[in-house]
Amino acid sequence: MPDRLNIGVLGLGRMGYLYAGTIAHVPGAVLYAAADPSEQPRARVGAEYNVPHLFADPQDLLALPELDAVVIATPTSTHKDLLIAAAQAGKAVFCEKPIALTIPDTHAALTAVERAGVPLQIGFNRRFDAAYARAKELIQSGQIGRPVTFKSVGRDPFCPNPQFADPAKSGGLIIDMAIHDFDAARWLMQSEVARVSSEGALLVCDTLRAVGDIDNAVINLKFESGALGNVEVSRNAFYGYDIRTEVLGSEGAVNIGVYQHTAVLLLTRSGAQHDVTPYLMERFGDAYRAQIGHFVSSVINGTPPAVSGKDGLASLEIGIAATRSLKEGRTVTVQEVRQANS
């Protein structure tokens, strides 16, 4: 491989635009091409980052002979087909989570990647956040003893566009949002999830009623190690972007994330005041740059990416089990989901 990686971005919506800007600032990465069916986002990215190749059709982008890799940032329902096409074109692939909306489609994508022999990295950005990475080191080194409970909060600061939140396109609240928490749970607890039990409701974002999604959910986890877990996801944290995780061990605990964004506390007669993280890039901008940097170095050096397709599959299995638990009002094992799709 060359010492620089020519990368194309598929999809130039919110996440695709984020990745285009990230790639443009990662050493060794070249924003070589971009594709989106709408002219406006193509023109915007082309002008801002001087992208030499812009297409409406992703197949035209994949046909570029000097293109080394692609970032798939299109709607979730399109990931599988694009991932297969990219693999068959011989391109290394970075794919936003999840790989697909169903386990059979995920297996189909992973089979195509294996047959093509191309690298694949899944976009679980929290693994590349400095705080999460430090927590992982502390847990692995035994600083808190044996992990026994996991708690994670993921709250977005606004109600999403119903078209985006449509479960037919996104998988619904649990798969779309909590999949990050499920990956963090597996990674930090050093154990797979055995079973889940979910509760959820539409409580605030009434516009989601039209597409049949919910805006709040709580999922209890039981790990194969015997440890316990709890994940809360919400669409209506209007005060700010709120991402926090705690792991309790047999000898201590580690907390990740705080409400406060900048290290400034205002003290007046009215009380103490501080700001809150506004949204995604303010909290995880460095993590997005680090994960793309890892992808670039992995492809150039011929080493496997740290976050594999198997990680994407495992977290999706938990998400499907949790969604089924919500719909059926019962505890669902991950093995049950796995067997139903084997």
Residue 83 in any domain: the answer is: yes
Position 137 pLDDT exceeds 60: yes
Q: How far apart are CA 171 and CA 98, in angstroms?
A: 9
| Residue 303 counted as domain residue | no
**Which residue spans within 250-305 are E strands per DSSP?**
253-256, 266-268, 271-273
191 in any annotated domain: yes
pLDDT value of residue 61: 98
pTM attached to this predicted model? 0.96
- Residue 49 sits in the same domain as residue 144: no
Which one of 118, 137, 164 terminates a domain? 118
Q: Answer yes or no: is pLDDT of 171 > 60.
A: yes
**Residue 203 and residue 216: Cα distance in Å, rounded?**
7
Tokens of 46: 């082309």
The enclosing domain of 41 has a CATH number of 3.40.50.720
Pair 151, 257 in one domain: yes
Looking at the 3D structure of the chain, how many domains does it have? 2
Write out the residue range of the structural domain in which residue 193 sits. Answer: 127-284+315-340
CA angle 334, 78, 290 (to 5 degrees): 75
234-272: pLDDT as tens digits: 999 999 999 999 999 999 999 999 989 998 999 999 999
Is 324 found in the same domain as 252?
yes
118, 139, 167 - which closes a domain: 118
Residue 81, pLDDT score: 98
pLDDT of residue 21: 96
Residues 50 and 17 in one domain: yes
* 335, 202: one domain: yes
Tens digits of residue pLDDT in 323-336:
999 999 999 999 99
The pLDDT tens digits for 67-102 are 999 999 999 999 999 999 999 999 999 999 999 999
Is the same domain home to 76 and 166?
no
- Which residue has tokens 């049949």? 212
pLDDT of 144 > 70? The answer is yes
17 located within any domain = yes
Last residue of a domain, one of 62, 86, 118: 118
How far is the CA of 289 from the CAs of 140, 179, 297, in angstroms?
24, 20, 12
CATH code of the domain in which 251 resides: 3.30.360.10
Does residue 173 share a domain with residue 148?
yes
